[in-house]
Amino acid sequence: MKVITARVVDGKIALDTDLEEGTTVAILAADDTGFCLTSEEQNELSDALDAIRRGDYVDGRQLLQELKTH
């Protein structure tokens, strides 16, 4: 997983890097002030990314399946 910034050009997302065809992406649009995180939020994000790198996460399909069974 990596974070990539991009810009919208002529209504399309223009990436500064190439991604493999078929890559699934998530898009989070910043407001005019950009992204501002508190120190606590930065630590939480860092911890979450560390957990993902360790393989400690539930993918979207698995999450939806779990939600259906509850």
Q: Report pLDDT for 1.
A: 59
Q: Which residues pair with 6 in a beta bridge?
A: 15
Q: Which residues pair with 12 in a beta bridge?
A: 9
Digit-by-digit pLDDT tens for the chain (70 residues) are 577 778 889 998 888 788 888 888 888 777 777 778 889 998 998 899 899 889 998 888 888 888 998 8
Please name which of 19, 21, 15, 16 lies closest in space to residue 1, comparing C-alpha atoms.
Answer: 19
Q: What share of the chain is helix, strand, coil (3-state, %, to 5)?
A: 35, 15, 50
Q: Report pLDDT for 34.
A: 72
Q: Report pLDDT for 3.
A: 74
User: Does pTM top 0.75 for this prediction?
Assistant: no
Cβ-based neighbour number of residue 49 at 10 Å? 13
Q: Report pLDDT for 59.
A: 84
